[in-house]
C-alpha cells in the first residue's frame, strides 16, 4: 500500500525535501484534505514547528524510512494563494535557497508562527488610508511628453515591461498614478516598490490623495503585527494599493493588475543576506506569470534594464524634460588640487553657496559618508585607528565621542594617545556628514541647517518631520548622504554641492562607475529652479562638484555625454569582460575564523563545479578579506548562459553541506550578486 505523503516547507537552512505522512483522519471523505498553501504543525527533531504544504511531487524513500505524521492542519483554506506559492518555489530555485526559509521570509511573524485566521478575518477593517477626495485640485494636465508615454503604457494588454526613463521632476510618478487609477477602476490591485523606507511616506501620500482606494505601506519599519494586518488586507483584496520596499513583492495579492518599480536601478532592491533576491527581478517574473504589466521607472536605469530595452525586450519610454520646464542644471567641475580646503570645502564652493543662500536659495551638500571623519591619524608616526575585527579603518563620530566600524558596528572611545607611539597629536583626516555640518554651521549660523544620514534619522517619524521643514523652506541647508539623493522632489532646492566625488571613482567593484554615474546624476538632478532674480524670473539651479580627478575618463564621459554616454561605454566594457548584463555571475562565499578553513571548503567545492559553459575563478580572498572577525573567501562563477549556470548550481548547491569542511565554515551562494564584496 502506498503511503499518503506530502512535502512540507519547513523553516530550516537545510536543502532537503521534508515529507510527512498524512493521517487518514485528514484525508477521509469528510475532509477536503490537504491543499498546497495550507499551514500544518509537524514534528521536527525534538520540536514541533509550523510548515506549509507544497506542491512538489513526492518521492518515496526506500523501505524502512519512517515518516512522521502531520499533527495538525492550521488552515481551512490555503493561506498562501497558488500563484504566490509558485513564485516562492521559483525564487527558492533561482536563488538556490531552501524553500522553507523562502516561505518564512514571505510571512509576517504571527502567520509564520501559526496564528490561526479567525473565520471572518478576511473581512477586516481597512487599515489604511481610505478614500479622501482631493480638495479642489484635480490631476494636472499632462505635458505632451507625458501624454505620449502614457499612451504607450496604456497600449497593449497583458504582460510587458516598460522602462520609463525620465529626469527627476519629469512627471514619472504622475504616470504611475494614471495607470494605477485605471487598475483601481477595474477593481485590480497595484504594487509600487520603492528602494527605501524613507521614500514610502511621500509616495503613499500621493497615491492616497489621488485614488479613491485604500492604500497601505509595507516595510521593515512596521511591527510584525502591523505587517500581518496588511498582509491579510492584501490577501482579501481590501487593500488596493501597496507602496512598499522589497519584501512587498511577496505579498499575497488577490487581484494584482500592475507592478511599478520606482528607482529601479537602486541596489537596495537586492537583499544582501539570507535569501539574496532582487525584488525588481522577482517582480518582473511575478508579472509575467500573472500576465500583468510592469513599469520600471528611473532617471538612471540599470545597465541590465537598458540592455533589455536595447534588445527590444522592454519598451523604452523617455521623458526628457521637467514638467516645470526648468532646465536640468549643468554640473560645474571644481578642481580642488591647488585649493586650500576648510574641512573639505573650498573657498569658491563656499562663495557660490553663500551667494545662493543670500538670494533666498535652498542648498544641498552631498557627502556619501556619515560620521565626522573616515580616518583618525597620528601626526607623529602615521598610525591610523583600525577595527580589530575587520580590514577597515574606524570612522570618527565626534558627536557620540567614539570610533565606529561601519562594517561590523563595533565601537570604542576616541583614544587620547596614538596606539603605536603614544603621541597625542591625533588628527581627523577626510570628511563625513558631521564635519560638513559643523563647518557650515560655523560659517552660516544665520541659516537653519539639518543633517540627513542614518545616524540622524534613527527616530521614527524624524524623517517625515524634517521633510516637511525642507518643503516649507524652514531648512535652508541640507547636508546628507545618498539618503537625500534618492527620489525626493525638493521643489525649491537651487544649489547642490558635491563635496567629493573621488571616492566613487575608485570603488573596487565592477559596478563602481555605473553607481558613480547614477549617484552624481541623481544628486545633481535634485537642483531645481534657481532662486528668483527679483523680477519674477528664476535662474537655473547650480551644481558644483569638487574633485581632485577632473581628468578621470569616466567622469569626463559623464560630464560631456551625460548618463546615456557613460552607459554606452560601460555596456561595451561589460561585453568585453563577459560581465552583467552580458554575462551571468554567481558568488560562492565562505567565511571562517581562520582563512585556511574557508579556503579549504572552496577547494573542496571547486571540483564539483565543473561545466563546459561556466568558468570558476578562485578561491580568492574577498575585497574585504576580514569582516566582523571572520576571514572571507569566495569563488566566482561566470557564464554566458544563465541556463548553464542555473543547472550547475541546482546540481551542486544541495551537495555543499556534505563537504568535509562544511561544518567549519559559514557559506552562502549569491546569484546575480549586486557586488563582489
Ligand atoms: P518624477 O517622478 O519624474 O520625479 P513627478 O511625477 O513627481 O516627477 O512630478 C514632479 C512634480 O511635478 C510633482 O510635484 C508633480 O505633482 C508635478 N507634475 C507632474 N506632472 C505634471 C503636469 N503635467 N503638470 C503640472 N505639474 C505636474
Ligand atoms: Zn603615533
Ligand atoms: Zn569592524
pLDDT digits (tens, 9 = 90+) for 162-183: 999 998 889 999 999 999 999 9
pLDDT tens track for 43-93: 999 999 999 999 866 566 666 677 899 999 999 999 999 999 999 999 999
pTM assigned to the model: 0.93
pLDDT at 444 > cutoff 60: yes
pLDDT at 649 > cutoff 90: yes
Section 606-626 average pLDDT: 95
CB of 244 within 8 A of CB of 218?
yes
Q: d(Cα 541, Cα 84) in Å, to the nearest integer?
A: 46
pLDDT at 620 > cutoff 90: yes
pLDDT at 121 > cutoff 60: no
Section 208-233 average pLDDT: 92
Q: d(Cα 99, Cα 107) in Å, to the nearest integer?
A: 13
CB of 659 within 8 A of CB of 574?
no
Section 552-577 average pLDDT: 95
- Give the number of the atom of ligand 1 that is nearest the alpha carbon of residue 299: 3
| More reliable by pLDDT, 63 or 472 | 472
Which amino acid residue places its CA nearest to atom 4 of ligand 1? Answer: 169
What is the Å distance from ligand 2's center to 479 Cα? 32
Section 441-463 average pLDDT: 89
The angle formed by the CA atoms of residues 353, 356 and 359, to the nearest 5 degrees, is 150
| More reliable by pLDDT, 504 or 141 | 141
Q: 171, 204, 321: which to mutate for ligand 1, most atoms within 8 A of CB?
A: 171
Indicate which ligand has the atom closest to the C-alpha of 426. 2
- Mean pLDDT estimate for the chain: 91
Q: d(Cα 450, Cα 440) in Å, to the nearest integer?
A: 10
Indicate which ligand has the atom closest to the C-alpha of 628. 3
Percent of the chain whose pLDDT exceeds 70: 93
Name residues with Cβ closer than 5 Å to ligand 3, which is an ion: 387, 389-390, 405, 407-408, 410
pLDDT tens track for 501-532: 888 888 878 999 999 999 999 998 888 766 66
Section 444-459 average pLDDT: 91
What is the Å distance from ligand 2's center to 426 Cα? 8
- Give the number of the atom of ligand 1 that is nearest the alpha carbon of residue 262: 2
What is the Å distance from ligand 1's center to 140 Cα? 8
* The pLDDT value given to residue 145: 96
Give yes or no for residue 142 CB within 6 A of ligand 1. yes
Helix spans in 530-581 (H): 553-577
Which amino acid residue places its CA nearest to atom 20 of ligand 1? Answer: 171
pLDDT at 137 > cutoff 80: no
Give yes or no for residue 141 CB within 6 A of ligand 1. yes
* The pLDDT value given to residue 531: 67
What is the Å distance from ligand 1's center to 173 Cα? 7
128 confidence band (pLDDT: 50, 70, 90):
very low
Helix 553-577 crosses helix 303-310 at what angle (to 10 degrees)?
60
Q: d(Cα 165, Cα 155) in Å, to the nearest integer?
A: 18
Give yes or no for residue 169 CB within 6 A of ligand 1. yes
What is the Å distance from ligand 3's center to 627 Cα? 6
Give yes or no for residue 262 CB within 6 A of ligand 1. no
Q: Is the dihedral of CA 166, 544, 367, 462 positive or negative?
A: negative
* The pLDDT value given to residue 135: 46
pLDDT tens track for 282-310: 999 999 999 999 999 999 999 999 999 99
Which amino acid residue places its CA nearest to atom 11 of ligand 1? Answer: 169
Give yes or no for residue 300 CB within 6 A of ligand 1. no
What is the Å distance from ligand 2's center to 480 Cα? 32
The count of other CB atoms within 10 Å of the CB of residue 663 is: 9
pLDDT at 127 > cutoff 60: no
The candidate with the shortest Cα–Cα distance to 8, out of 71, 38, 51, 58, is 51
Length of the chain: 677
Indicate which ligand has the atom closest to the C-alpha of 393. 3
What is the Å distance from ligand 2's center to 424 Cα? 8
Give yes or no for residue 171 CB within 6 A of ligand 1. yes
pLDDT at 597 > cutoff 60: yes
What is the Å distance from ligand 3's center to 411 Cα? 8
* The pLDDT value given to residue 73: 93
Give yes or no for residue 230 CB within 6 A of ligand 1. no
Q: d(Cα 251, Cα 393) in Å, to the nearest integer?
A: 40
440 confidence band (pLDDT: 50, 70, 90):
very high
Q: 174, 179, 207: which to mutate for ligand 1, most atoms within 8 A of CB?
A: 174
Q: 144, 204, 323: which to mutate for ligand 1, most atoms within 8 A of CB?
A: 323
Q: 169, 296, 328: which to mutate for ligand 1, most atoms within 8 A of CB?
A: 169
* The pLDDT value given to residue 533: 65
Section 262-280 average pLDDT: 96
pLDDT at 371 > cutoff 90: yes
Tell the residue number behind the cell numbers 548553464, with chain if given: 644
* The pLDDT value given to residue 372: 97
Residues 6+ apart with CB under 8 A from 470: 362, 450, 478, 490
Indicate which ligand has the atom closest to the C-alpha of 389. 3
Give yes or no for residue 173 CB within 6 A of ligand 1. yes
Q: d(Cα 491, Cα 493) in Å, to the nearest integer?
A: 6
Give yes or no for residue 489 CB within 6 A of ligand 1. yes
pLDDT at 129 > cutoff 80: no
* The pLDDT value given to residue 517: 95
CB of 523 within 8 A of CB of 498?
yes
- Give the number of the atom of ligand 1 that is nearest the alpha carbon of residue 176: 6
| More reliable by pLDDT, 6 or 118 | 6
The count of other CB atoms within 10 Å of the CB of residue 312 is: 8
DSSP 514-543: HHHHHHHHHHHTT--EEEE-SSS-EEEPEE
pLDDT at 270 > cutoff 70: yes
Indicate which ligand has the atom closest to the C-alpha of 624. 3
Task: Return phi, psi of residue 661, to 5°.
Answer: -90, 0
- Give the number of the atom of ligand 1 that is nearest the alpha carbon of residue 142: 23
Percent of the chain whose pLDDT exceeds 90: 75
* The pLDDT value given to residue 266: 95
- Kindly report which listed range (55-69, 380-394, 417-431, 592-606) carries the lowest average pLDDT score: 55-69
Amino acid at each position: 500500500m502506498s503511503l499518503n505523503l506530502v512535502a512540507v516547507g519547513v523553516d530550516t537552512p537545510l536543502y532537503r525535501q521534508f515529507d510527512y505522512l498524512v493521517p487518514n483522519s485528514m484525508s477521509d471523505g469528510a475532509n477536503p484534505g490537504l491543499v498546497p498553501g495550507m499551514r500544518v504543525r509537524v514534528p521536527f527533531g525534538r520540536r514541533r514547528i509550523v510548515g506549509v504544504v507544497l506542491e512538489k511531487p513526492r518521492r518515496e524513500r526506500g523501505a524502512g524510512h519512517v515518516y512522521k505524521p502531520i499533527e495538525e492542519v492550521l488552515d481551512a483554506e490555503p493561506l498562501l494563494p497558488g500563484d504566490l506559492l509558485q513564485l516562492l518555489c521559483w525564487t527558492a530555485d533561482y536563488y538556490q535557497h531552501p524553500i522553507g526559509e523562502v516561505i518564512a521570509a514571505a510571512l509576517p511573524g504571527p502567520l509564520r508562527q501559526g496564528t490561526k485566521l479567525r473565520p471572518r478575518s478576511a473581512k477586516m477593517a481597512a487599515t489604511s488610508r481610505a478614500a479622501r477626495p482631493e480638495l479642489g485640485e484635480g490631476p494636472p494636465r499632462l505635458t505632451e511628453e507625458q501624454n505620449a508615454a502614457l499612451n504607450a503604457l496604456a497600449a497593449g494588454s497583458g504582460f510587458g515591461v516598460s522602462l520609463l526613463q525620465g529626469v527627476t521632476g519629469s512627471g514619472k510618478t504622475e504616470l504611475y498614478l494614471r495607470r494605477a487609477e485605471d487598475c483601481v477602476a477595474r477593481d485590480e490591485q497595484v504594487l509600487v516598490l520603492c528602494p527605501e523606507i524613507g521614500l514610502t511616506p511621500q509616495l503613499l501620500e500621493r497615491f492616497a490623495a489621488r485614488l479613491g482606494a485604500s492604500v497601505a505601506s509595507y516595510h521593515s519599519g512596521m511591527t510584525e503585527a502591523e505587517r500581518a494586518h496588511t498582509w491579510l488586507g492584501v490577501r482579501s483584496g481590501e487593500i488596493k494599493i501597496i507602496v512598499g520596499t522589497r519584501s512587498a513583492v511577496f505579498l499575497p495579492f488577490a487581484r494584482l493588475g500592475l507592478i511599478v518599480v520606482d528607482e529601479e536601478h537602486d541596489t537596495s532592491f537586492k537583499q544582501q543576506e539570507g535569501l539574496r533576491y532582487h525584488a525588481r527581478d522577482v517582480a518582473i517574473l511575478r508579472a509575467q506569470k500573472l500576465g500583468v504589466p510592469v513599469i520600471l521607472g528611473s532617471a538612471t536605469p540599470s545597465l541590465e534594464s537598458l540592455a533589455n530595452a536595447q534588445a527590444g525586450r522592454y519598451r523604452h519610454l523617455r521623458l526628457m524634460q521637467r514638467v516645470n520646464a526648468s532646465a536640468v542644471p549643468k554640473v560645474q567641475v571644481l578642481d580642488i588640487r591647488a585649493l586650500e580646503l576648510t574641512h573639505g570645502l573650498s573657498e569658491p564652493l563656499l562663495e557660490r553657496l553663500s551667494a545662493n543662500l543670500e538670494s533666498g536659495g535652498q542648498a544641498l551638500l552631498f557627502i556619501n559618508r556619515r560620521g565626522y571623519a573616515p580616518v583618525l591619524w597620528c601626526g607623529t608616526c602615521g598610525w591610523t585607528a583600525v577595527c580589530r575585527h575587520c580590514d577597515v579603518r574606524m570612522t570618527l563620530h565626534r558627536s557620540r565621542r567614539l570610533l565606529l566600524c561601519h562594517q561590523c558596528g563595533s565601537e570604542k572611545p576616541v583614544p587620547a594617545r596614538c596606539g603605536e607611539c603614544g603621541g597625542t597629536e591625533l588628527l581627523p583626516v577626510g570628511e563625513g556628514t558631521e564635519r560638513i555640518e559643523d563647518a557650515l554651521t560655523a560659517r552660516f549660523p544665520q541659516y537653519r541647517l539639518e543633517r540627513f544620514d542614518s545616524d540622524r534619522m534613527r527616530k521614527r517619524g524624524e524623517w517625515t518631520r524634517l521633510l516637511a521643514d525642507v518643503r516649507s523652506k524652514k531648512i535652508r541647508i541640507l547636508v546628507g548622504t545618498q539618503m537625500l539623493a534618492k527620489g525626493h522632489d525638493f521643489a525649491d532646492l537651487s544649489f547642490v554641492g558635491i563635496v567629493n566625488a573621488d571616492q566613487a571613482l575608485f570603488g573596487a567593484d565592477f559596478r563602481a562607475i555605473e553607481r558613480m554615474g547614477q549617484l552624481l546624476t541623481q544628486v545633481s538632478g535634485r537642483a531645481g529652479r534657481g532662486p528668483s532674480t527679483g523680477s519674477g524670473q528664476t535662474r537655473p539651479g547650480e551644481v558644483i562638484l569638487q574633485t581632485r580627478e577632473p581628468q578621470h575618463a569616466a567622469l569626463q564621459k559623464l560630464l560631456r555625454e551625460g548618463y546615456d554616454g557613460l552607459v554606452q561605454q560601460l555596456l561595451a566594457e561589460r561585453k568585453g569582460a563577459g560581465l552583467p548584463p552580458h554575462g551571468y555571475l554567481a558568488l560562492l562565499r565562505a567565511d571562517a575564523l581562520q582563512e585556511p578553513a574557508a579556503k579549504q571548503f572552496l577547494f573542496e567545492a571547486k571540483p564539483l563545479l565543473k561545466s563546459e559553459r561556466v568558468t570558476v575563478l578562485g578561491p580568492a580572498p574577498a575585497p574585504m578579506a576580514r569582516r566582523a572577525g571572520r576571514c572571507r573567501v569566495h569563488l566566482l562563477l561566470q557564464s554566458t548562459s544563465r541556463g548553464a549556470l542555473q543547472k550547475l548550481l541546482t546540481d551542486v548547491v544541495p551537495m555543499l553541506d556534505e563537504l568535509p569542511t562544511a561544518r567549519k565554515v559559514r557559506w552562502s551562494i549569491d546569484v546575480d550578486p549586486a557586488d563582489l564584496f
